[in-house]
Amino acid sequence: DAGVTQSPTHLIKTRGQQVTLRCSPISGHKSVSWYQQVLGQGPQFIFQYYEKEERGRGNFPDRFSARQFPNYSSELNVNALLLGDSALYLCASSLGQVYQETQYFGPGTRLLVL
Amino acid sequence: GDSVTQMEGPVTLSEEAFLTINCTYTATGYPSLFWYVQYPGEGLQLLLKATKADDKGSNKGFEATYRKETTSFHLEKGSVQVSDSAVYFCALSRSPFRTGGGADGLTFGKGTHLIIQP
């Protein structure tokens, strides 16, 4: 079975632009979470979606938004990009909600903001 | 809020040495605890987990015991190999039984870079 897939793998944007990142969960998984990993740090939680509804949000500004589609894939949108948004963006899927569940991570999208 | 603290790296050991990577946490309620590993050029993978106090998670020779009295989840391995070189992350997930309810994602530590020399 395919694991979690993310696209694109790499992305270069300039300040002020908008970006959309995509994630396909493992087949049968209904929960998708997004994380931001800055170089040298642990991942920071951005959003969790379960059954197409937002179930959790981390401490990120409103420039960050996400949605989950009927097939459980997900998009993360970031508006008005800042230099500090440069990071590896990770998507993770799980069967149910996060507590006690194993989350399976994708390879990530590396975003560079110039 | 919830937080995870793990020992700073890099940690450099010789092959076959004993490994301990310390992890302590702060959380309300009864979190689940995880160790994830990130090998060079690869994504995050679950190494082991424990979902209640005194549980021991184990995988690939690694072990960690959920100690609620000391709020710790230290990672250990009796004899490390060069192939264990990676970044190790301790993480917790918030209990839905805490005040306020809701579901959140994992809270990670900053990671410990482990280097095993032949």
Please list every residue in chain B whose beta carbon sits closer than 8 Å to the beta carbon of residue A99: 32, 93-96, 103
Closest CA to A75 of A43, A38, A46: A46
Which chain B residue lies closest to A47 (C-alpha atoms)?
B105
pLDDT of the residue at A98: 66
Task: Give the amino acid at A96.
Answer: G
Q: Is A87 exposed, middle or buried (0-12, 13-18, 19+ CB in 10 A)?
A: buried
pLDDT of the residue at B97: 56
Closest CA to A34 of A77, A80, A84, A86: A77
**B5 at interface of A, judged by CB pairs closer than 8 A:** no
HSE value, Cβ hemisphere, 13 Å, CA-based, for A3? 13
Q: Report the percentage of chain A scoring pLDDT > 70.
A: 96
Please list every residue in chain A whose beta carbon sits closer than 8 Å to the beta carbon of residue B55: none
Pair of tokens at residue B35: 């160790």
* Across B35-50, average pLDDT: 92
pLDDT in tens, A70-80: 999 999 999 99
**Which residue out of A30, A103, A104, A109 would a mutagenesis test of the B interface target, given it has the greatest number of B Cβ atoms within 10 Å?**
A103
Please list every residue in chain B whose beta carbon sits closer than 8 Å to the beta carbon of residue A42: 4, 89, 91, 108-111
Out of A92-96, A99-103, B25-29, least confident range: A99-103
Structure letter (DSSP) for residue B21: E
Q: Report the percentage of chain B scoring pLDDT > 70.
A: 92
Task: Give the amino acid at B49.
Answer: K
Query: In which band, very low, low, confident or very high, does the pLDDT at B95 lie, cut at 50, 70 and 90?
Result: low
Query: In which band, very low, low, confident or very high, does the pLDDT at A109 lie, cut at 50, 70 and 90?
Result: very high
Residue B33 has pLDDT above 90, yes or no: yes
CA dihedral B33, A58, A25, A63 (to 10 degrees): -160
The overall average pLDDT reported for chain B is 91
**Which residue out of A94, A100, A110 would a mutagenesis test of the B interface target, given it has the greatest number of B Cβ atoms within 10 Å?**
A100
Query: In which band, very low, low, confident or very high, does the pLDDT at B41 lie, cut at 50, 70 and 90?
Result: confident
Whole-angstrom Cα distance, residue B90 to residue B109? 5
Query: Is A35 in Cβ contact with B107 (below 8 Å)?
Result: no
- Count residue pairs from A and B with Cβ separation < 8 A: 73
Query: Is B49 in Cβ contact with A102 (below 8 Å)?
Result: yes
Considering only CB atoms, A105 lies closest to which of B43, B103, B110, namely: B43
Residue B91 has pLDDT above 80, yes or no: yes
pLDDT in tens, A28-82: 999 999 999 998 899 999 999 988 898 888 999 999 999 999 999 999 999 999 9
CA dihedral B41, B45, B47, B49 (to 10 degrees): 150
